[in-house]
């Protein structure tokens, strides 16, 4: 059964589904009154609802008993992704949402080839739609946010217990060793663009508290590195 994200009302139990989801329910799934529907409030709670009204613009459902979705990781992991060349950010977003990322922060660094045009906000909204679809498909309990673009220099690590910098020049410390020394609940993963990190960029990030780690002897594409690192961290920290 497909999962639909919808705002949980402050009181009462009628859930309103609007926009593309309403159209999808009404015109594609042709859902009927009385049919069951899986609802998620985006705050890691789900319930089995019952459709009570259907139109192309709005579908109403009566909420059942809410319970924890049970699909969210215990760690909150943000991916701080330096802008890759066109078309890759959608794939990175989709795969990392399926894997369990908490939020994605697009970052502009020195060697980013794809420099943001004025309408980066339009692209961010597209990435946010990709995140929402991937969250529905993978039955996430939240819709991971795609945050506004920021410069590498502006990154603030105050919200994280552990910041891991995937650094292609790191030869000593591996991701596994670092994780085995213990990490906090709120983790940031920093991935460079196709051109990697300039040495002074990496040095500045380390000075701010990032731990440079190697992802192994092979050089991964930027669109591979984020999902791969996220999967390895989640594997290592999950009970």
Point out which residues bind ligand SAM (CB under 6 A): 166-168, 170, 191-192, 194-197, 214-216, 218-222, 225
Cα(200)–Cα(153) distance, rounded to whole angstroms?
11
| Residue of 111, 8, 106, 1 lying closest to 65 (CA atoms) | 8
Q: Contact 152/201 with Cβ under 8 angstroms?
A: yes
- Residue among 122 and 218 whose Cβ is closer to ligand SAM: 218
**How many Cβ atoms from other residues are within 10 Å of residue 49's Cβ?**
23
Q: How far is the CB of 124 from ligand SAM (least distance, A)?
A: 21
| Residue of 70, 11, 61, 8 lying closest to 38 (CA atoms) | 61
- Residue among 149 and 220 whose Cβ is closer to ligand SAM: 220
Q: Which residue is nearest to ligand SAM (CB)?
A: 192
Q: Label residues 116-133 b or e (16+ Cβ within 10 Å = b).
A: eeeebeebbeebbebbbe
- Residue among 144 and 192 whose Cβ is closer to ligand SAM: 192
Q: How far is the CB of 188 from ligand SAM (least distance, A)?
A: 13
| Residue of 167, 172, 166 lying closest to 188 (CA atoms) | 166
- Residue among 127 and 197 whose Cβ is closer to ligand SAM: 197
Distance between start and end Cα atoms, the chain: 27
Q: How far is the CB of 86 from ligand SAM (least distance, A)?
A: 16
Q: How far is the CB of 84 from ligand SAM (least distance, A)?
A: 8
- Residue among 52 and 113 whose Cβ is closer to ligand SAM: 113
Q: How far is the CB of 223 from ligand SAM (least distance, A)?
A: 9
């Amino acid at each position: 059964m497909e999962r639909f994200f919808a705002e949980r009302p402050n009181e009462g139990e009628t859930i309103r589904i609007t926009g593309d989801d309403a159209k999808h329910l009404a015109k594609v799934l042709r859902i009927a009154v009385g049919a069951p529907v899986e609802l998620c409030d985006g705050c890691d709670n789900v319930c089995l609802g019952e459709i009570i009204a259907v139109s192309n613009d709005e579908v109403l459902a009566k909420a059942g008993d809410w319970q924890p979705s049970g699909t969210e990781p215990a760690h909150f992991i943000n991916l701080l992704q330096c802008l890759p060349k066109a078309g890759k950010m959608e794939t990175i977003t989709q795969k990392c949402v399926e894997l369990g990322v908490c939020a994605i922060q697009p970052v502009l660094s020195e060697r980013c080839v794809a420099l943001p045009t004025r309408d980066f906000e339009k692209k961010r909204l597209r990435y946010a739609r990709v995140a929402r679809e991937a969250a529905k498909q993978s039955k996430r309990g939240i819709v991971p946010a795609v945050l506004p673009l920021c410069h590498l220099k502006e990154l603030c690590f105050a919200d994280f217990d552990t910041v891991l910098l995937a650094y292609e020049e790191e030869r000593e410390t591996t991701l596994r060793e670092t994780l085995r020394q213990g990490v906090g609940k709120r983790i940031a993963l920093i991935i460079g663009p196709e051109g990697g990190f300039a040495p002074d960029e990496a040095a500045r990030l380390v000075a701010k508290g990032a731990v440079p780690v190697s992802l192994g002897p092979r050089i991964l594409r930027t669109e591979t590195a984020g999902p791969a690192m996220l999967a390895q961290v989640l594997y290592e920290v999950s009970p």
